[in-house]
Amino acid sequence: MQRALACLLVTACSDEPVPDVGITCGDGVREDFELCDDGNVVSGDGCTALCAPEPLVTVTWAFFPSVMGPAMTGACRAGVATVELVTEVNTTAPYPCDERRSGTVYVPSTKQVFARLRAANGDIVAESLPVLATSGWRADAPFYEDAGYVRASFRRPDGCLSLFGPDGQPQLQPIELVLAPVDGGTSSVQTFPCSDDLGLVTSAPVAAGIYDVALTNAYGETIIEAGVVVRPNNGVTDLDFR
């Protein structure tokens, strides 16, 4: 009887459930269709702007006095008070720098994470290279007191070689990044696939020092060369050949 009276007051009556149009992502209340709600619409803090959970990534860091030596054990590296885990969306998870060697941070899918070292006065001492989380949601952030990295950028028309492959289709040939110490030490060679807009970052640390840098093609021909000073403490030296 009550339902019949209610139906007289509206133009249509249905047994279908009426959707709740009052659901608001970011109000701190988990409601229907929300997998999480942390009270904001900021991604990178464990719950996305669309109220979906984000993965918790474990970042492991290590300190190396020398690029050729074993990792340090025991207390944190001298002059470092805090290790911050930072993502592309600028969320941070600070940890005191002591015997601890790992920490966790929420990282949105496809985003990178890196570790930042700060002194007691807040100054940035060093940063690791940003990396994507690997399987198992882990990421490694090594630090080398006597080494850094080189990033070289150039556009493909400046020398990337295209040859015909077995299927008769053109194939872009890889590029080699060669770092030769000016003091006559052993050269470091790393190979990268070629693309239209190439940014090469050495995947392994390079001992601090002065180098002659060359990009070579599949025939060993030098495309571009320059001199560079590699900075210690994970410093990234940029070479822009654009």
Is the same domain home to 153 and 222?
yes
Per the domain annotation, does 21 fall within a domain?
no
CATH code assigned at 106: 2.60.40
Per the domain annotation, does 2 fall within a domain?
no
Is the same domain home to 125 and 95?
yes
Is the same domain home to 87 and 135?
yes
Q: What is the DSSP letter of 182?
A: T
Is the same domain home to 168 and 228?
yes
Q: Bridge partners of 171?
A: 163
- What length is written for the chain? 242
Q: How many domains does the chain have?
A: 2
Pairing of strands 131-132, 175-181: unpaired
Residue span of the structural domain in which 197 resides: 147-240
Q: Bridge partners of 223?
A: none
pLDDT at position 8 is: 41
Q: Which of 144, 166, 199 is the last residue of a domain?
A: 144
Is the same domain home to 173 and 116?
no
CA 33/CA 52 separation, integer angstroms: 10
CA 54/CA 187 separation, integer angstroms: 42
161 CB-contact burial (10 Å; exposed 0-12 / middle 13-18 / buried 19+) = middle
146: left (phi > 0), else alpha (psi -120 to 50), else beta? alpha
Is the same domain home to 236 and 151?
yes
**Residue 135 pLDDT exceeds 60:** yes
Q: Which of 144, 160, 179 is the last residue of a domain?
A: 144
pLDDT in tens, 115-126: 999 999 999 999
- SS3 of residue 91 by DSSP: coil
194 CB-contact burial (10 Å; exposed 0-12 / middle 13-18 / buried 19+) = middle
Residue 207, CB half-sphere, CA atoms under 13 Å: how many? Answer: 13
Per the domain annotation, does 153 fall within a domain?
yes
Per the domain annotation, does 25 fall within a domain?
no
Q: Would the pTM count as exceeding 0.75?
A: no
* Range scoring the smallest mean pLDDT among 24-28, 147-151, 200-204: 200-204
How many CB atoms within 10 Å of residue 179? 21
Is the same domain home to 151 and 236?
yes
Is the same domain home to 130 and 151?
no
Per the domain annotation, does 80 fall within a domain?
yes
**Residue 222 pLDDT exceeds 60:** yes
Q: Which of 144, 167, 196 is the last residue of a domain?
A: 144
Closest CA to 33 of 45, 46, 44, 20: 20
Per the domain annotation, does 29 fall within a domain?
no
What value does the mean pLDDT take over residues 214-219?
A: 78
pLDDT in tens, 87-117: 888 788 899 999 989 999 988 878 889 999 9
Per the domain annotation, does 62 fall within a domain?
yes
- H-helix or E-strand spanning residue 125: strand 124-127
Per the domain annotation, does 16 fall within a domain?
no
CA 90/CA 132 separation, integer angstroms: 15
Contacts of 12 (CB under 8 A, 6+ apart): none
pLDDT at position 22 is: 66
Is the same domain home to 179 and 111?
no
